Amino acid sequence: MSKVTVRLVFACLIPVLMFTKSRADTSTADPTLGQPADRQTALQLSLKQAVDLALAPEGNAQVQLANELVRQTRDRLAQSRAPLLPNFESSVLQQNLTRNLAAFGIRIATPIPGFRFPEIVGPFDVFDARLTVSQSIFDFSSIRRFQAARIGVRVAETEVENVQDGVAAQVARLYVSALRAEARVGAVQANVALAETLLKLASDQKNAGTGTAIEVTRAQVQLLNERQRLLIVESERRQSHLQLAKGIGLDLDVQIQLTDKLTYDRVETLASEATTIALQSRADLKAQGQREENARLAYSAIKMERVPSIVGFADYGTIGSSLDHASPTRTYGVSLRVPLYDGGRRDARRAESLSQLAQERIKTKDLQRQIKLEILLALDNLRSAEEQVKVAEEGLQLSQQELAQARRRYQAGMTSSVEVADAQTRLERATDNRIAALFSYNLARISLGEAMGVIRRIIR
């Protein structure tokens, strides 16, 4: 071995030894520093756990708003029930007053000449303590309004399910996007490792006299390009984790570590079966049917305003000039109210509610057609993505074989590094194609599950 070679070996070993020693000193001084500690503190998160956290009461903001809407509709139900329940009121009155009897048509004539009965009486005191109650005995319009409000609660509860399905699909898409970013980081890291290996091979061949400096430079350029790509995809991974944390409802400072992988699981679904399941399971279709029923009851409530209503009333209390001189009195009775004419307002409201009912029926039919369209589009995307996965898998295998052959030829001195660089570029493209195909396929599965209304059951 020549002196030049010995110096070169020592020059290469000294930085490695210094780097190894510094890493050992760092791990001895503080074991909490570095990436392993970050992985220990990161939140281990699977797709199912991500969806469960998003659907928790303190999770996604859309779920929280939907739950608040349910509470609001329940309060409205209590308001619509009030006219059907007894209404109690109490009052205590103490007043001092005068009265003009002539204003009420009271004139008292006296047979005494020159004497006139005074027209103004008082002042005098009146004390009245009384309890009043009224109860609707028969009011069909109020009954219909109560029934419509009860349907409104069911609509809000069903809307919660619809929102949960939408949030589950949204979180699933964000999770799959994060998995794609993870896969791209892994692929580029493999490319960096490969570029480092090729650089070492080019350097070894140059030192052995079988290679040229241009081969080393070309390998260095390729390595720098891969490191540049690694910086980009790592930034994309961080951004995808932040988007996922926002979609779940987590604190954005929480570190996330995904436990699932971007895989291919074949799904067999017929369009007719998927459509049947969707028409039975879709929460938005159930909610729309309930809105149509709500509009029908609202129309019936206005139409029943023409029907007479019966109200019972009663009061009991004590009245007199003062509390010490008061006597008990009471009143009770039944009132029959017959609507006759209100200037046409009732007819206009009935026509308006009939139009609203017609609109809800149109929306129901349109939503059914929209569901069928979503099923067909999702199945078409799924079939297309499945074919893309098959083609990408085959292309990846061929690219790997090509790179392996190019490396063997380069090591044997039969070709230059250009052939290896070209093969590496095609392998990178094939890897990206496979990741993109798997991403599209999993998105298509999510879209199909959402269109069928079973996305939460599929995830869980």
Give the Cα separation of 51 and 42 in Å (integer): 18
Burial (CB < 10 A; 0-12, 13-18, 19+), residue 225, is: middle
Q: Identify which has the larger pLDDT, 113 or 350.
A: 350
For tokens 């509610």, name the residue: 353
Cβ atoms of 157 and 70 within 8 Å: the answer is yes
Q: What is the CATH number of domain 42-83+151-309+350-459?
A: 1.20.1600.10
Domain boundaries, the chain: 1-35, 42-83+151-309+350-459
Range among 7-21, 298-312, 408-422 rated most confident: 298-312
For tokens 């879709």, name the residue: 282
Query: What is residue 369's predicted lDDT score, i.e. its pLDDT?
Result: 95
| Angle of the 140-208 helix axis to the 213-248 helix axis, nearest 10 | 160
pTM over 0.85: no
Cβ atoms of 326 and 318 within 8 Å: the answer is yes
For tokens 């002042």, name the residue: 123
Q: Is the pLDDT of residue 2 over 90?
A: no
Kind plus residue range of the DSSP H or E element containing 455: helix 455-459
pLDDT over 90 for what percent of the chain? Answer: 51
CB atoms within 10 A of CB 288: 22
Query: What is residue 377's predicted lDDT score, i.e. its pLDDT?
Result: 93
Mean pLDDT value of segment 367-388: 93
Report residue 8's pLDDT band, with 50, 70 and 90 as the boundaries.
Answer: very low
Give the Cα separation of 410 and 306 in Å (integer): 95
Kind plus residue range of the DSSP H or E element containing 90: strand 87-100
Query: What is residue 334's predicted lDDT score, i.e. its pLDDT?
Result: 93
120-138 vs 43-45, strand pairing mode: unpaired
Dihedral sign for Cα 435, 440, 446, 452, please: negative
Give the Cα separation of 87 and 195 in Å (integer): 84
Mean pLDDT value of segment 224-242: 94
What does DSSP assign to residue 344?
T
In the chain, what are the helix, strand and coil shares in percent, each to the nearest 5?
Answer: 70, 15, 15
Q: Which of 29, 283, 328 is nearest to 157 (CA)?
A: 283
Query: Torsion angle, CA of 120/123/127/132, rounded to 10 degrees?
Result: 30
Query: What is residue 408's predicted lDDT score, i.e. its pLDDT?
Result: 85
Mean pLDDT value of segment 362-366: 95
Query: What is residue 25's predicted lDDT score, i.e. its pLDDT?
Result: 40
Q: Identify which has the larger pLDDT, 117 or 298.
A: 298
Kind plus residue range of the DSSP H or E element containing 335: strand 326-337
What does DSSP assign to residue 30?
-
Residue 98, classed as helix, strand or coil, is strand
42 phi and psi angles, rounded to 5 deg:
-70, 150
Q: Which of 390, 367, 374 is nearest to 444 (CA)?
A: 374
pLDDT over 70 for what percent of the chain? Answer: 91
Query: What is residue 18's predicted lDDT score, i.e. its pLDDT?
Result: 35
Q: Is the pLDDT of residue 111 over 80?
A: no
309-320 vs 43-45, strand pairing mode: unpaired
For tokens 């008292």, name the residue: 108
Give the Cα separation of 350 and 339 in Å (integer): 15
104 phi and psi angles, rounded to 5 deg:
-100, 5
For tokens 């260095």, name the residue: 220
Give the Cα separation of 435 and 264 in Å (integer): 10
pLDDT mean across residues, the chain: 85
Mean pLDDT value of segment 31-52: 67
pLDDT, tens digit, for every residue of 431-441? Answer: 999 999 999 99
Amino acid at 55: L
Residue 311, classed as helix, strand or coil, is strand
Query: What is residue 3's predicted lDDT score, i.e. its pLDDT?
Result: 38
Mean pLDDT value of segment 269-288: 89
Mean pLDDT value of segment 114-132: 85
Report DSSP letters for 250-296, one per residue: --TT--EEE------------HHHHHHHHHHH-HHHHHHHHHHHHHH
Query: What is residue 360's predicted lDDT score, i.e. its pLDDT?
Result: 93
For tokens 């050992």, name the residue: 24
What's the angle, vertex CA 219, arms to CA 215 and CA 224, rounded to 5?
150
Q: Which residues contact 132 (CB under 8 A, 6 or more apart)?
A: 88, 89, 90, 91, 313, 314, 315
pLDDT, tens digit, for every residue of 126-159? Answer: 999 999 999 988 888 888 889 899 999 999 999 9
The three-state (H, E, C) secondary structure of 39-61, written as one string: HHHCEEECHHHHHHHHCCCCCCH
Q: Which of 436, 380, 401, 430 is nearest to 264 (CA)?
A: 436
Give the Cα separation of 446 and 175 in Å (integer): 11
